[in-house]
Amino acid sequence: MNDTNNLIWKTFTPLVSLASSDVHEQLRGKVALITVKRALSELYEQEYLAREGAGRSVRYKLTRRGLLLKPIDLTSYISRPQEERAAMQAFNHGVLTLPFEAAIDEQNLAKLQQATDEYHARAHNNEAVRAKELERLMVEMSWKSARIEGNTYTLLDTEKLLTYGIVSPKHTQFETQMLLNQKAAFDFIWETQEMWQQPSVAYIEKLHEYIVDGLGVAKNLRSTIVGITGTDYMPLGNGFQIREALQSLLEYIAQAPNGYEKALICTLGMSYIQPFADGNKRTARMTANALLLAHGLAPISYRSVDESRYKEATLVFYEQNSVVPFRELFVDQYIYSATHYNIAQP
């Protein structure tokens, strides 16, 4: 896609239709009107935009593909005041429903596959080495997943806790339990890899029980309203709709052509639905890792991710339904994990 088409694509916000003159005005003369019209026609032909009306009254709006794959500069977007982000405030039932729409382009898919090939090429028969590497992955994944949620345990203290059972006196019992739960949840998905090839709502509810055990969080799907700090987006509040949305997401994931797509969509989709009273993003990341393992791929530790960027990229999906900022982060973190942990079975 050329720069002009990308620039014009970026002028569109969810649920709003624009005429070519509207787009031209927004660009303040940076692009000639005839160029705007040509670009809009190309974006329509590529199914990023839908067309309404005819003749002089033609207007365009984002399609589902246009929403999901819209290029968004994360830094620029987050720098805007909350009230100026043209964010969707309600759950979009149509964004992650069949037919399946690929979220990972061919270039990124090639990068992921290359990392996976290297991951499997390093596999060996030394079970002691693999066990040590698995422990390192579990520690670093548990630490970072909890860190994203505000846990203040250091990586060293996390290693002491999860490897040797040494509780840090500098941290709360809640933080300690959160980390112990991460380990228990990972042990669960590691031991039940085959069943995650076709996950169910019941499997996810069971995984969530491990995630929130002893933390005072209600188990099973929620039936109450929850809000999300820093955004006007409000997830569904009806228990029947929440179950329906989660089931629909699983059906969508089942149609994904590879484990990468499944894991990416799972991470964003479950976070978007917020099916539980708490522990949603931790459950989403762990479910995504279960999907990766079930399809012979490397689980992601998110060891090197910036926590703020992770939250911001997720927020973009809440408000704009674009996977692009999170996809970039996901690809980078998968490559990191696939090349840093030696746990592949020979």
Which position has the higher pLDDT, 39 or 346?
A: 39
DSSP SS3 for 54? coil
Q: Are 267 and 288 in contact (CB under 8 A)?
A: yes
Report residue 255's pLDDT band, with 50, 70 and 90 as the boundaries: very high
Domain spans in the chain, listed from the N-terminal domain onward: 3-62, 106-340
Report the pLDDT value the prediction gives residue 90, as an integer from 0 to 100: 95
> Domain spanning 106-340 has what CATH number?
1.10.3290.10
Residue whose C-alpha is closest to residue 144's, from 177, 187, 178, 170 = 178
Residue 115: count other Cβ atoms within 10 Å of its Cβ: 19
* Rounded Cα–Cα distance for residues 170 and 83 (Å): 39
Q: Do domains 3-62 and 106-340 have the same CATH topology?
A: no
The mean pLDDT of the chain is 95
Report the pLDDT value the prediction gives residue 295, as an integer from 0 to 100: 97
Q: Are 285 and 302 in contact (CB under 8 A)?
A: yes
Mean pLDDT of 53-81: 93
Mean pLDDT of 307-336: 97
Q: Are 311 and 258 in contact (CB under 8 A)?
A: no
Residue 77 scores a pLDDT above 90: yes
AA identity, residue 137: L
Report residue 54's pLDDT band, with 50, 70 and 90 as the boundaries: confident
Residues 26-31: contacts with CB within 8 Å, 24+ apart?
A: 31/4, 31/7
Residue 16 scores a pLDDT above 80: yes
Predicted TM-score (pTM) of this structure = 0.95
* Rounded Cα–Cα distance for residues 242 and 256 (Å): 21
CA 304 from centroid of its chain's CA atoms: 16
pLDDT digits (tens, 9 = 90+) for 26-45: 888 788 999 999 999 999 99
AA identity, residue 117: D
Report the pLDDT value the prediction gives residue 57, as an integer from 0 to 100: 86
Which position has the higher pLDDT, 169 or 4?
A: 169
Mean pLDDT of 329-342: 97
pLDDT digits (tens, 9 = 90+) for 87-122: 999 999 999 999 999 999 999 999 999 999 999 999
Report the pLDDT value the prediction gives residue 3, as an integer from 0 to 100: 84
Residue 174: count other Cβ atoms within 10 Å of its Cβ: 11
Report the pLDDT value the prediction gives residue 158, as an integer from 0 to 100: 98
* Rounded Cα–Cα distance for residues 333 and 338 (Å): 9
Q: Which CATH number fits domain 3-62: 1.10.10.10, 1.10.3720.10, 1.10.287.70, 2.60.40.10?
A: 1.10.10.10
Residue 60 scores a pLDDT above 90: yes
pLDDT digits (tens, 9 = 90+) for 147-166: 999 999 999 999 999 999 99
Report the pLDDT value the prediction gives residue 254, as an integer from 0 to 100: 97
